[in-house]
Chain A
Amino acid sequence: MTAEQSSNGLLSGSTLERVLRAGHFAVTGELGPPQSADGQVIREKAALLRGKCDAINITDNQTAIVRMSSIGAGAILVQEGLEPVIQMTCRDRNRLAIQSDLLGAYALGMRNLLCLTGDHQSFGNHPTAKNVFDIDSLQLIRMVTEMRDEGIFQCGEAFKGPEPRFFAGAAAAPFADPVDFRPYRLAKKVKAGANFIQTQLVYDIDAFAAYMEKVRRLGLHEQTFLLAGVGPIKSPGMARYMKNNVPGILVPDELIDQMTAAGAPWADIPKEQLTKEDKQARSAAWKEEGIRICIELIQQLREIEGVAGVHIMAIEWEEAVGPIAEGAGLLPRPTFEPAPAGGG
């Protein structure tokens, strides 16, 4: 199989691919595996996301903290009848390990893959570990799409049997420095073969619209499906933290003010006099506002030409995805007949 698409016109046959190719506004969610061997955690989180999105990203040792593997957790999702997007970073595996893991993931029924560089290990719980970075995210995308489209391993040798056919995605950080280069780095990812893109969290619609204008000028929105990253904010503190501490995330002051205003009924109570009930009520008010803002952002993003969907990141707050998707008018999600067997 060396043609770019199989006879059914699909690269992978994944639900995510079919939703996007059918022209629906796609919704992906995100699930962080546990720091344990407890598969039940995956099943419980998956239940919260069922029917609320088309596919669920499973992080790969996010922030360099060891967790259940993305592929292991992905296999549980497949058993549950849900569709994972396997995240694969370049930090922990060399080109041999990545390729063999992908063969296994495909054999277990996984069809979507997000290719990432990976956070540096100094942020995680094994800061003294050796990092790998044998290849980078651009090279990973190319490797995965060549595995699918050319039927070859990275070394150029042909597969001895069916090739893994992943719907290959990549990340984009529209607001990271150097900002002027970002649309061009996205172009490189598209050139390397990225079929879909999930962006870093977007809170500043104006800045994102300006980025998208450059993306459109390069024609990238016609060559890939771009899903804008959104995430509900839990508190004004979280908004301020992201604004000040997370590279590549822009949080407008207006949004921080909105979150602060949601906690106004408790603002005048001295900290030490806040009861547990007060704190719970304030947290609920903040969360409600966070969900409302997220819905509003999705509605604005949907109006931007070239945005093919949203990636809702609500890690450790998976129950927020349902109300967000509902509020944004994104439910019910489209369904399809089972895809023809992969492998072309």
Chain B
Amino acid sequence: MIVAEQKPLQEIKALIGDAERVLVVGCGTCVTVCFAGGTREAAITSASLRMSTKLDGKEREITDVTVQRQCEWEYLDEVREQVEQADLILSLGCGIGVQAMTEHFPEKWVVPGLNTSFLGLPTEQGVWAERCAACGDCILGLTGGICPIARCSKSLLNGPCGGSEAGHCEIDPDVPCAWQLIYDRLASMDKLDALLEIQPPKNWSTSRDGGPRKIVREDLRLAEEK
């Protein structure tokens, strides 16, 4: 899932500026699961902003609503009425949600309430870790299901470098060395031979380096949209 965390309230206040009617829009998908921008967080954020506005001796109307998925047009239509009544939208969606709101309601000023962090999973209650870099050319089949692009600090394809110690990456003892994990995993599966192959330079054009990405599935397109 997409993992995000909330921006500090001071930064959110600065983004809102002098707007008088603010609509906080949460999202019921990834950011709900990572406790950053769901129904509960949208309600807390709008309550915090109301309190803070009062303490500042100002007056403004702050309401909140949560859609099931901020990244799909059809769900956004459900809140069109509330959006039209507001003069600023504070999106608690990921970066995709913020942009979907902007594209769907071009007459509204939309600002982000979250920092979109990474694609990952919860490893324990309250802890999320990165797992995928969306490079567009998956090599997990070579590395025993552990991604060195997302999880090695240098994204090495022929690791480990010399900075691995006792299973940790040199940049931080809290960061597991992805190549140690790969080595251990392949050893446990009796597949260490795979590591003797020299992996050639990666084709990064399928990653962000190739420019904004787009997938077109002709078999799924509707005739009238072509």
A residues with a Cβ closer than 8 A to B are 90-91, 95, 117-120, 122-123, 131, 133-139, 142-143, 154, 171, 173, 176-178, 181, 184-185, 187-188, 191-192, 200, 247-248
Contact = CB atoms under 8 A, between A and B. Distances in A.
B201 A137 contact: no
A119 B171 CA distance: 9
B198 A138 contact: yes
A213 B192 CA distance: 20
The residue in B154, B171, B192 that gathers the most chain A C-beta atoms within 10 A of its C-beta is B154
B157 interface: yes
Interface string B118-156: 000000000000000000000000000000000001111
B201 A134 contact: yes
Interface stretch (B43-51, B91-99, B160-168): B160-168
Contacts of A181: 160, 183, 192, 195
Given A137-B158, A181-B183, A176 B164 contact: yes
A119 to B, nearest CB: 8
A142 B156 CA distance: 15
Interface of B: 153-167, 170-171, 177, 180, 183-184, 192, 195-196, 198-201, 204
A19 B201 CA distance: 33
B196 A184 contact: yes
B195 A136 contact: no
B158 A138 contact: yes
A176 B163 contact: yes
Contacts of B180: 177-178
Contacts of A248: 162-163, 165
B195 A184 contact: yes
A139 B154 contact: no
A190 B164 CA distance: 21
A178 B201 contact: no
A188 B156 contact: no
Contacts of A118: 154
B153 A120 contact: yes
Contacts of B184: 178
A120 B201 contact: no
Ranked 9 nearest A-B pairs via Cβ: A173-B162, A247-B165, A138-B158, A176-B162, A135-B201, A136-B156, A177-B164, A117-B161, A178-B183
Contacts of A136: 154, 156-159
Contacts of A139: 157-158, 198-201
B196 A117 contact: no
Nearest to B184: A178
A179 B180 CA distance: 10
Given A178-B183, A191-B198, A248-B163, A134 B204 contact: yes
Given A177-B166, A181-B183, A131 B154 contact: yes
Nearest to B148: A136
Contacts of A192: 198
A245 to B, nearest CB: 10
Nearest to A193: B198
Given A120-B171, A133-B154, A142 B162 contact: no
A133 B156 contact: yes
A123 B165 CA distance: 16
A105 to B, nearest CB: 20
Contacts of B166: 177
B90 to A, nearest CB: 27
A187 B193 CA distance: 12
B195 A95 contact: no
B167 A177 contact: yes
Contact of A187 (B163, B196, B200): B196
B4 to A, nearest CB: 21
A133 to B, nearest CB: 5
A131 B154 CA distance: 8
Contacts of B155: 133
Contacts of B156: 117, 133, 136
Contacts of B158: 136-139, 185, 188
Contacts of B160: 176-178, 181, 185
B154 A117 contact: yes
A200 B199 CA distance: 24
Contacts of B165: 176-177, 247-248
A134 B157 CA distance: 10
A78 to B, nearest CB: 29
B120 to A, nearest CB: 20
A111 B157 CA distance: 27
Nearest to A247: B165
Nearest to A192: B198
A147 B163 CA distance: 29
A178 B188 CA distance: 14
Contacts of B167: 177
Contacts of B153: 120, 122
Nearest to B193: A184
B164 A247 contact: yes
B162 A120 contact: no
Given A138-B198, A181-B192, A188-B158, 8 more contacts: A117-B161, A119-B163, A120-B170, A120-B171, A133-B156, A138-B199, A139-B200, A176-B164
Nearest to A133: B154
A62 to B, nearest CB: 14
